[in-house]
């Protein structure tokens, strides 16, 4: 079914150039997105704003179906034209229910029919959002869960599986409202652009959200909905309610009169309006409804009902946009190295450099309206004396073979940096030098490759939050609400933490990565048995193989009864011998989880008898397996023996494929770190 997007958009024209006052704080700049990741794309520093004409220019080229339109907009966002990318970002937000507003107050563009009342987006900051999305800035799914908990939506943090399951099934029904369909399709298309899929089986360590996805998901998970009025039905702005005054919630006001900061309220009915509420209640596909269902029924009615949710979520979303100007780049003097062959050598070391800066070149420094009213924009330039925290995600060599440590670790002189962080200098930079271990003996075994991902982040605890006294917080009727909103924002940002910049380093080494695929069991053919059917394969070079060893069966009593029993079960057992050991070699397809089938042996008359299949699960998270010889293995997949080409239902012929530290069929190598 085609879901039309209504073409008539309500737009108040901008009312002149915005003039802002002096900057005060340096910090808010890094509070949410201070550690943005950057890609190879070298987009210019974004300036200016998006306007009505630019948004309508992009909108006029789109198909009527909201899914197709969202997918096309994502393509434009990631195309080469930064200006058109910003306009496409604004149009995707508008179609998804976000009002596009100016920091001075006037509305730039409104959604059709229904809007996210608590989630206006500053037009001046959309170029930043587009640039950061193109640059592949990222949040983890876990951070989104922390954010939803911190703003008060959920009583506890949702898991990776819960969040991705909710997003995967969001707004896919034929009668779901177009703003939900557009947002959900946009989120999925943005992941697809990175060759990722948001689902419960994805790898949590590599699956992430870009800033645009984060804004869309936060808004749709937390915001109240309101009816959008046609321009000819615009009404006088209502005075801020008690909740908005005391908590800074909803659309935060900078003044109490019917001025420019109330422009959006003249075009929307409040969420509690009876007519508007009826329209909203009939809108299907709300992400928040899907998240609520993840909790027990007795707690569902309380989820997201607290008034503070609206103030916190609105401020946090706006801060994410503002703070995309804070950048943390991470580079390395080389991106690959090899384990040392000589202790004391420094040629294999890698030095990483993190640089923190605020890159927004703007001719305005004060936000006057909406949820960040009173917040000032810091000047562009390096961020001095901010603490950089370092962390790494990497396989540990001792899980691969005996005697190992991490693929890379900090040199002795930088060990304190790795554990306690390091402050940036006057140029905004901080460094960390890392080293690989030494092979002993060098060059022994297979040549293997591992990857160490290093992450840098700005220390959230050291960030000073300040608010300029732009509106006389004691004298202005809603000044307390502005200050309270800022306090809520600070609370959220400290709890949630910051995005991280990452770099992945390739590390090659000689040694072994031992993976076993072995198991045995009897096969019950009802009238007779095959006492032992087995597989015993080993790879000394990881899951990529080759896997070598033996497989087959033995101990059978050959005779007519066995033949009859096999025939009754659909298995043509070979005649006249009790078993056979077959030499096996399996080379799995590179970077493919499987299945990887392999032949073992044929049965009577050349019919299909015994075959095997390997499957690998890179993200398998299970407890260790104790093998028959008491070795401990870590599961990475499974191996199965098939009878006559199929899984045999009457005997267990599937076993875990495990990584172990030693096997007599693989050479022995140890590693150690020198004193450099």
Instruction: List Cα–Cα distances, 403 to 396, 510, 602, 663, 666, in angstroms.
Output: 10, 13, 43, 14, 15
**Residue 441 CB coordination number (10 Å):** 12
Q: What is the pLDDT of residue 114?
A: 86
- Taking the C-alpha atoms of residue 467 and residue 459, their distance in angstroms, rounded to an integer, is 20
Provide the b/e sequence for 99-136 (b: ≥16 CB within 10 Å): bbbbbbbbbbbbbbbbbbbbbbbbbbbbbbbbbbbbbb
Largest CA distance in the chain: 101
Q: Please report the sign of the dihedral spanned by the C-alpha atoms of residue 623, residue 618, residue 37, residue 455.
A: positive
Residues 386 and 377 sit within 8 Å (Cβ to Cβ): no
Q: Concatenated DSSP letters for 1-27?
A: ---PPP-----PPP-S---------SS
- Taking the C-alpha atoms of residue 340 and residue 436, their distance in angstroms, rounded to an integer, is 7
Is 3 a domain residue? no
Q: What is the pLDDT of residue 257?
A: 47
- Taking the C-alpha atoms of residue 260 and residue 255, their distance in angstroms, rounded to an integer, is 9
Instruction: List Cα–Cα distances, 661 to 509, 544, 550, 658, 665, in angstroms.
Output: 16, 17, 21, 10, 12
The four Cα atoms 439, 445, 446, 448 give a dihedral, to 10 degrees, of -20
**Burial of residue 362, with CB atoms counted within 10 A of its CB: 0-12 exposed, 13-18 middle, 19 or more buried:** buried
Clarify whether residues 42 and 127 are in a common domain. yes
Region at 186 (left for phi over 0; alpha for psi -120 to 50; beta for the rest): alpha
Here the tokens at position 497 are: 């933490």
Clarify whether residues 264 and 161 are in a common domain. yes
Cβ within 8 Å of residue 201, ≥6 positions away? 619
Residues 646 and 611 sit within 8 Å (Cβ to Cβ): no
Q: What is the pLDDT of residue 578?
A: 73
pLDDT in tens, 473-505: 333 343 444 455 555 555 555 555 555 688 999
Is 634 a domain residue? yes
Is 15 a domain residue? no
- Taking the C-alpha atoms of residue 66 and residue 64, their distance in angstroms, rounded to an integer, is 6
Is 374 a domain residue? no
Q: What is the pLDDT of residue 279?
A: 56
Query: Against a cut of 0.75, is the pTM above it?
Result: no
Give the closest residue to 287 by CA, choosing from 186, 191, 189: 186
Give the closest residue to 369 by CA, choosing from 100, 130, 595: 100
In angstroms, how far is the first alpha carbon of the chain from the final one? 66
Clarify whether residues 164 and 122 are in a common domain. yes
**For residue 124, which phi and psi values (nearest 5 degrees)?**
-65, -25
Q: How many structural domains compose the chain?
A: 3
- Taking the C-alpha atoms of residue 48 and residue 108, their distance in angstroms, rounded to an integer, is 14
- Taking the C-alpha atoms of residue 658 and residue 637, their distance in angstroms, rounded to an integer, is 7
pLDDT in tens, 378-418: 567 888 888 899 988 887 544 445 545 688 999 999 999 98
Clarify whether residues 267 and 278 are in a common domain. yes
Cβ within 8 Å of residue 281, ≥6 positions away? none
Clarify whether residues 560 and 615 are in a common domain. yes
Where among 478, 510, 542 does a domain terminate?
510
Residues 399 and 659 sit within 8 Å (Cβ to Cβ): yes
Is 128 a domain residue? yes
Q: Concatenated DSSP letters for 474-505?
A: TTSTTHHHHHHHHHHHHHHHHHH----EEEEE
How many residues would you count in the chain? 676
Clarify whether residues 65 and 99 are in a common domain. yes
Clarify whether residues 355 and 471 are in a common domain. no
Run of H or E residues at 129? helix 126-134
Is 371 a domain residue? no
**Burial of residue 577, with CB atoms counted within 10 A of its CB: 0-12 exposed, 13-18 middle, 19 or more buried:** exposed
Clarify whether residues 313 and 437 are in a common domain. no
Cβ within 8 Å of residue 323, ≥6 positions away? 28, 29, 30, 31, 32, 33, 34
- Taking the C-alpha atoms of residue 657 and residue 660, their distance in angstroms, rounded to an integer, is 10
> 350-358 and 429-435: which strand pairing?
antiparallel
- Taking the C-alpha atoms of residue 557 and residue 406, their distance in angstroms, rounded to an integer, is 52
Half-sphere exposure of 313 (CA within 13 A, CB side): 33
Clarify whether residues 472 and 525 are in a common domain. no
Clarify whether residues 105 and 193 are in a common domain. yes
SS3 letters for 623-658?
Answer: CCEECCCCCEEEEEEEEEEEECCECCCCCCCEEEEE
The ranges of the chain with pLDDT < 70 are 1-49, 103-105, 231-285, 292, 294-316, 318-326, 359-379, 396-405, 460-500, 558-561, 564-566, 568, 618-633
- Taking the C-alpha atoms of residue 481 and residue 444, their distance in angstroms, rounded to an integer, is 68
Residues 442 and 503 sit within 8 Å (Cβ to Cβ): no
Residue-range definition of the domain harbouring residue 413: 329-366+382-461+505-510
**Burial of residue 73, with CB atoms counted within 10 A of its CB: 0-12 exposed, 13-18 middle, 19 or more buried:** buried
Q: Find the CATH number of the domain harbouring 388.
A: 2.60.40.10
> Cα angle at 434 between 432 and 439, to 5 degrees?
175
Is 67 a domain residue? yes
Where among 510, 529, 546 does a domain terminate?
510
Q: Please report the sign of the dihedral spanned by the C-alpha atoms of residue 242, residue 154, residue 498, residue 199.
A: negative
Q: Please report the sign of the dihedral spanned by the C-alpha atoms of residue 541, residue 546, residue 548, residue 551.
A: positive
Q: What is the pLDDT of residue 135?
A: 83
Clarify whether residues 492 and 538 are in a common domain. no
The DSSP output letter for 510 is E
Is 350 a domain residue? yes
Clarify whether residues 151 and 222 are in a common domain. yes
Give the closest residue to 406 by CA, choosing from 436, 377, 370: 436
Here the tokens at position 374 are: 């009173």
């Amino acid at each position: 079914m085609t879901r039309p997007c209504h073409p008539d958009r309500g737009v108040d024209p901008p009312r002149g150039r915005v003039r802002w006052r002096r900057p005060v704080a340096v910090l808010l700049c890094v509070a949410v997105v201070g550690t943005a990741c950057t890609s190879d794309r070298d987009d210019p520093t974004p300036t200016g704003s998006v306007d009505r004409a630019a948004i309508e220019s992009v909108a006029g080229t789109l198909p009527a179906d909201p899914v197709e339109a969202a997918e096309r907009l994502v393509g434009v966002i990631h195309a080469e034209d930064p200006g058109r990318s910003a306009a496409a970002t604004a149009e995707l937000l508008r179609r998804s229910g976000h009002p596009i507003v100016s920091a001075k107050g006037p509305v730039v563009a409104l959604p059709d029919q229904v809007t996210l009342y608590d989630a206006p987006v500053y037009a001046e900051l959309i170029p930043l959002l587009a640039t950061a999305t193109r640059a592949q800035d990222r949040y983890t799914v876990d951070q989104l869960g922390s954010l939803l908990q911190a703003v008060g939506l959920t009583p506890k943090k949702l898991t990776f599986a819960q969040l991705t399951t909710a997003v995967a099934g969001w707004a896919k029904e034929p009668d779901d409202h177009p703003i939900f369909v557009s947002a959900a399709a946009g989120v999925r298309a943005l992941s697809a652009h990175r060759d990722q899929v948001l689902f419960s089986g994805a790898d949590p360590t590599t699956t992430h959200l870009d800033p645009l996805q984060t804004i869309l998901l936060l808004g749709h998970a937390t915001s109240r909905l309101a009816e959008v009025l046609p321009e000819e039905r615009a009404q006088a702005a209502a005075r801020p309610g008690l909740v908005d005054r005391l908590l800074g919630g909803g659309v935060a006001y900078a003044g109490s009169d019917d001025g420019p900061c109330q422009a959006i309220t003249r075009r929307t009915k409040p969420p509690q309006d009876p007519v508007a509420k009826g329209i909203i209640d009939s809108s299907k596909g709300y992400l928040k409804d899907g998240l609520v269902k993840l909790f027990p029924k007795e707690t569902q009615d309380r989820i997201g009902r607290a008034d503070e949710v609206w103030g916190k979520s609105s401020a946090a979303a706006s801060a994410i946009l503002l703070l995309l100007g804070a950048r943390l780049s991470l580079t390395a003097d080389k991106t690959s190295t090899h384990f040392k062959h000589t202790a004391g050598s420094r040629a294999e070391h890698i030095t990483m450099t993190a640089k923190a800066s605020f890159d927004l070149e703007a001719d305005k420094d004060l936000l006057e309206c909406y949820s960040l009213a009173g917040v000032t924009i810091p000047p562009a330039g390096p961020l001095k004396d901010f603490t950089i925290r370092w962390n790494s995600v990497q396989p540990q060599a001792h899980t691969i073979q005996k005697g190992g440590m991490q693929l890379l670790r900090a040199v002795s002189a930088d060990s304190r940096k790795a554990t306690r962080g390091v402050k940036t200098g006057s140029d905004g930079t901080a460094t960390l030098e890392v080293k690989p271990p030494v092979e002993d003996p060098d060059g022994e075994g297979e040549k293997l490759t591992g990857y160490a991902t290093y992450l840098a982040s700005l220390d959230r605890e050291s960030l000073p939050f300040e608010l300029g006294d732009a509106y006389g917080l004691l004298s202005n009727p809603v000044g307390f609400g502005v200050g309270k909103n800022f306090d809520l924002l600070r609370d959220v940002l400290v709890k949630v933490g910051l995005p991280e910049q990452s770099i992945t380093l390739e590390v090659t080494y000689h040694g072994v990565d031992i993976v076993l695929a072995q198991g045995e069991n009897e096969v019950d053919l009802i009238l007779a048995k095959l006492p032992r059917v087995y597989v015993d394969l080993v790879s000394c070079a990881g899951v990529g193989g080759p896997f070598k060893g033996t497989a087959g069966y033995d101990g059978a009593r050959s005779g007519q009864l066995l033949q009859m029993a096999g025939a009754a079960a659909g298995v043509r057992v070979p005649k006249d011998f009790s078993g056979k050991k077959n030499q096996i070699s399996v080379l799995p397809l590179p970077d493919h989880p499987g299945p990887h089938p392999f032949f073992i042996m044929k049965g009577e008359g050349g019919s299909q008898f015994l075959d095997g299949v390997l499957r690998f699960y890179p993200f398998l998270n299970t407890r260790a397996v104790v093998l028959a010889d008491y070795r401990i293995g870590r599961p990475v997949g499974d191996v199965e023996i098939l009878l006559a080409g199929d899984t045999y239902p009457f005997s267990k012929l599937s076993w875990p494929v495990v990584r172990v530290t030693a096997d007599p069929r693989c050479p022995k190598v140890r590693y150690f770190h020198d004193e450099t």
